[in-house]
Amino acid sequence: MAKSVLVVDDAAFMRMMLKDILTKNGFEVVGEAVDGGDALKKYEALKPDLVTLDITMPEMDGITALKELKKMNPDIKAVMCSAMGQQSMVIEAIQNGAKDFIVKPFQAERVVEALTKVGNM
Amino acid sequence: MVDVNVINPFLEAAISTLEMVAQIKLTVGKPFLRENLDFSDENVLTIVGITGAMKGRVIMALPASNAKNVASNMMMGMPVDELNEMALSALSELGNMTMGTAATIFSTKNVLIDITPPMIQHGTVKMETFNSQMICVPMLKDGTDFMEINIILKTNN
């Protein structure tokens, strides 16, 4: 069965791109959230298998959202998807439970590879 | 005086991002210092703030026709006749990715900066800033002006 994904990004363009890549590669995008707060609500309602999380977002950022999501589900399968690729940022995300980190701009294959791997964990 | 160590990461980031997301190859024109920012409504400005080891903002200025061209390429060739919400979102994300890449390059030189979510401005605008240096770098495509990168950094801390 197709893995369900919640895509979290403040940019409509990026949500569209991720949705397009994932849908074409056998994932089902069940929801989109525009910031961390929205992500928490939609995660609870939709219970997706996977979450992609942007970091730089207004209201609640992706790292804060990740910490909150981890409280809701300690086994959450979240993949960060951010333009902020500094080593310190990657380490912080992984320490807070992110399963992988995709740096924008990305190639479609990188996204599919990461979500496939994390989905099968 | 323009410190190339300060501006180069922004330019490198813009070149690599434009090439990767829009298949547009840019080269660096001749940088100059400007006193104020004065844009006509023919431009789309993507503004991203910088905090941390440097403070200020970067404004990427694209003439509307080039902005449509970039947005269209970013959306895999989808025609962009007008700068609708999705096209502006793509340009905003271009700013985010460029500045995120710049932040990553700076981090390898132990300069740690963070960036703000991008803001898009279009329409005629005049901007003033104080205690800041404004460096404008024209970016060229096939030898012709394509976009401007304005790097505005606070000079005293």
Q: Residue B89: which CATH number?
A: 3.40.1550.10
Closest Cβ–Cβ partner in B21, B74, B104 for A85: B104
Alpha carbon distance B37, B1 (integer Å)? 19
Residue contact A56–B96, C-beta within 8 A: yes
The tens place of each residue's pLDDT in chain A, 121 residues long, gives 899 999 999 999 999 999 999 999 999 999 999 999 999 999 999 999 999 999 988 889 999 999 999 999 999 999 999 999 999 999 999 999 999 999 999 999 999 999 999 999 8
Q: Are B11 and B105 in contact (CB under 8 A)?
A: no
Tell me whether residues A14 and B93 touch, CB distance under 8 A. Answer: yes
Domains of chain B: total: 1
Is residue A2, in this structure, part of any structural domain at all? no
Q: Is residue A1 part of a domain?
A: no
Residue B1 confidence (pLDDT) above 90: no
For an interface test with B, which of A17, A61, A64, A86 has the most B Cβ atoms less than 10 Å from its Cβ? A86
> Which range marks the domain in which residue A105 is found?
15-119
Which residue blocks in B1-154 are alpha helix, DSSP H?
A: 4-22, 64-74, 85-107
The pLDDT of B55-71, averaged and rounded, is 96
Contact between B147 and B34 under an 8 Å Cβ cutoff? The reply is no
Task: Judge: A104–B97 Cβ closer than 8 Å, yes or no.
Answer: yes
Tally of domains within chain A? 1
Task: Check CB contact under 8 Å for A103 and B104.
Answer: yes
pLDDT attached to residue A99: 97
Give how far B35 is from chain A: nearest CA, Å: 31
Per the domain annotation, does A79 fall within a domain?
yes
Integer-rounded Cα radius of gyration of chain A: 13
- State the complex-level ipTM: 0.87
Give me the pLDDT at residue B123, please. Answer: 82
Nearest CB to B107 within list A56, A86, A105: A86
Give B89 to chain A, closest Cα distance, Å: 5
In a domain, A90, yes or no: yes
Residue at B14: amino acid letter: A
Spell out the residues 6+ positions from residue B76 whose beta carbon is closer than 8 angstroms to its own. none
Task: Give the span between the Cα atoms of B60 and A59, in whole angstroms.
Answer: 24
Question: Which one of B89, B100, B117 has the shortest CB-CB distance to A13?
Answer: B89
3-state DSSP helix/strand/coil % of chain A, to nearest 5: 45, 20, 35
In-domain check, residue A9: no
Q: Beta strand pairing status for B56-63 and B43-52?
A: antiparallel
Say if residues A6 and A39 touch (Cβ distance below 8 Å): yes
The answer as to whether A4 is a domain residue is no
Q: Would A5 be classed as within a structural domain?
A: no
**Under an 8 A CB cutoff, do A83 and B100 touch?**
yes
The reply to whether residue B117 touches residue A82, judged by beta carbons under 8 angstroms, is: no
CATH number at residue A23: 3.40.50.2300
pLDDT at B2: 64
Q: What is the mean pLDDT of residues B35-58?
A: 92
Nearest residue on chain A to B92, alpha-carbon basis? A11
Residues 32-91 of A with CB under 8 A from B: 56-58, 82-88
DSSP state of B79: -
Residue A93 and residue A66 in contact, taking contact as beta carbons nearer than 8 Å: yes
> Do you find a cis peptide bond into A105, omega within 30 degrees of 0?
yes
A80 located within any domain = yes
Range of the structural domain that residue B15 is part of = 4-154
Q: What is the pLDDT of residue A58?
A: 84
- Are the C-beta atoms of B33 and B133 separated by less than 8 Å? yes
Per-residue pLDDT reduced to its tens digit, B86-140:
999 999 999 999 999 999 999 999 999 999 989 999 888 888 888 899 999 999 9
pLDDT band at residue B84 under the 50/70/90 scheme: very high
Closest CA to B105 of B3, B12, B4: B12
Q: pLDDT class for B156, splitting at 50, 70, 90?
A: low
Which of the two residues, B112 and B4, has the higher pLDDT score?
A: B112
Whether A11 sits inside 8 A of B97 (CB atoms) is no
